[in-house]
Amino acid sequence: MGKPYARASSTPSAAPEAVDRWVHEVCALTEPDRVHWCTGSEAENAALTAQLLASGELEPLNEETYPGSYLYRSNPSDVARVEHLTFVCTRSQADAGPNNHWMAPDAAHAKIDALFAGCMRGRTLYVVPYCMGPLDSPYSRCGVEITDSAYVVLNMRIMTRMGTPALERIGRDGIFVRGLHSTGTLDPERRFIMHFPEELAIKSFGSGYGGNALLGKKCHALRIASWQARTEGWLAEHMLLVAIESPAGETHYVAAAFPSACGKTNLAMLIPPDSMPGWKVRTIGDDIAWLHPGPDGRLYAINPEAGYFGVAPGTNRKSNRNAYDSVTRDTIFTNVALNAAREPWWEGLEGTPVTDWQGRPYQAGNGPAAHPNSRFTVAARRNPAWAPESEHPAGVPISAIIFGGRRRTLAPLVYEARDWRHGVLMGAGVASETTAAATGQVGVLRRDPMAMKPFCGYHFGDYWRHWLAIGERLSNPPRIFHVNWFRQDEAGKFLWPGFGENLRVLRWMLDRVAGRVGARDTAIGHMPAREDLALEGLGISAAATHALLDVDAPAWRSELAHLAKEFEQYGARLPPALLDELNGTLRRLG
Q: Using CB under 5 A as the criterion, which residues of the chain lie in contact with Mn ion when the complex forms?
A: 260, 287
Q: How far is the CB of 422 from ligand OXD (least distance, A)?
A: 26
Shortest distance, position 241 Cβ to Mn ion, whole Å? 13
- In angstroms, the CA 65 to CA 69 distance is 9
CB 242 within 8 A of CB 283: yes
Longest dimension (CA), the chain: 77
List the single partner that 20 binds among Mn ion, ligand OXD, none, CB under 5 to 8 Å by kind: none
Q: Which is nearer to ligand OXD, 414 or 436 (CB)?
A: 436
Residue 48 binds which entry of ligand OXD, Mn ion, none, CB below 5-8 Å type-dependent: none
3-state secondary structure of 273: coil
| Rounded distance between C-alpha atoms, residue 281 and residue 3, angstroms | 56
406 binds, among Mn ion, ligand OXD, none (CB under 5 to 8 A by kind): none
CB of 499 to ligand OXD, least distance (A): 19
The closest alpha carbon to 319, from 389, 249, 271, belongs to 271
For residue 306, CA distances in Å to 391, 484, 560 come to: 9, 28, 38
Torsion of CA 257, 261, 265, 270, to 10 degrees: -90
d(CA 222, CA 239): 10
Active site residues: 262
Specify whether the CB–CB gap between 431 and 448 falls below 8 A: yes
Of 372, 457, 443, nearest to 80 by C-alpha is 372
Cβ closest to ligand OXD, residue 95 vs residue 237: 237
Interaction residues for ligand OXD, span 62-121 (CB under 6 A):
81
The smaller minimum CB distance to Mn ion, of residues 222 and 410, is found at 222
Residue 260 beta carbon to Mn ion: minimum distance, rounded to whole angstroms: 5
Minimum separation from the CB atom of position 385 to Mn ion (A): 19
In contact, 306 and 160? CB cutoff 8 Å: yes
* 109 contacts 192 by C-beta, under 8 angstroms: no
> What number of chain residues touch ligand OXD (CB under 6 A)?
6
Give the residue at shortest CB distance from ligand OXD.
260
Amino acid at 327: V
Q: Among residue numbers 267 through 296, which ones bind ligand OXD (CB under 6 A)?
A: 287
61 burial class (0-12, 13-18, 19+ CB within 10 angstroms)?
buried
Enumerate residues 6+ apart whose C-beta is below 8 A from 35: 8, 10, 23, 27, 124, 125, 127
Q: Which residues neighbour 493 within 8 Å (Cβ) at sequence distance 6 or greater?
A: none
Beta strand segments in 169-319, E: 177-182, 192-196, 201-205, 235-237, 240-245, 251-257, 280-285, 289-293, 299-302, 307-311
Site map (CB under 6 A) of ligand OXD, residues 211-230, x = contact: x-------------------
Could you say which of Mn ion, ligand OXD, none residue 130 binds, taking C-beta under 5 to 8 angstroms by partner kind?
none
* Angle, alpha carbons 527-531-535 (nearest 5°): 100
Q: Minimum distance between the CB of residue 116 and ligand OXD, rounded to whole angstroms? A: 25
CB closer to ligand OXD out of 24 and 81: 81
- The entry of ligand OXD, Mn ion, none near residue 211 (CB within 5 to 8 angstroms by kind) is ligand OXD
Task: Between 179 and 211, name the residue whose CB sits nearer to Mn ion.
Answer: 211
Binder to ligand OXD among 260, 355, 374, 399 (CB under 6 A)?
260
Contact 390, 433 (CB under 8 A): no
Please select the residue that binds ligand OXD; options are 202, 240, 380, 437, rule is CB under 6 A: 437
User: CB 263 → Mn ion: shortest distance, Å?
Assistant: 11
Q: How far is 309 from 155, CA to CA, in rounded Å? A: 9
d(CA 47, CA 42) in angstroms, rounded, equals 9
Shortest distance in whole angstroms from residue 572 CB to ligand OXD: 30
Q: Which is nearer to Mn ion, 213 or 338 (CB)?
A: 213
147/260 with CB nearer Mn ion: 260
Shortest Cβ 435–ligand OXD spacing (Å): 9
Cβ at position 260, least distance to ligand OXD in Å: 3
Residues 129-148 that bind ligand OXD (CB under 6 A): none
Q: Dump strand ranges (E) for 363-516.
A: 375-379, 396-404, 414-416, 431-433, 445-447, 479-483
Among residues 474, 540, 483, 523, the alpha carbon closest in space to that of 506 is found at 483
Q: How far is CA 461 from CA 132, 280, 408, 450, in A?
A: 27, 38, 28, 13
Q: Among residues 287 and 501, whose Cβ is nearest to ligand OXD?
A: 287
The reply on whether position 404 binds ligand OXD by CB under 6 A is no
Half-sphere exposure of residue 499: CA atoms within 13 angstroms, side-chain side: 16
Nearer to ligand OXD, 130 or 376 (CB): 376
Nearer to ligand OXD, 211 or 500 (CB): 211
Residues of this chain that interact with ligand OXD (CB under 6 A) are 81, 211, 260, 287, 309, 437
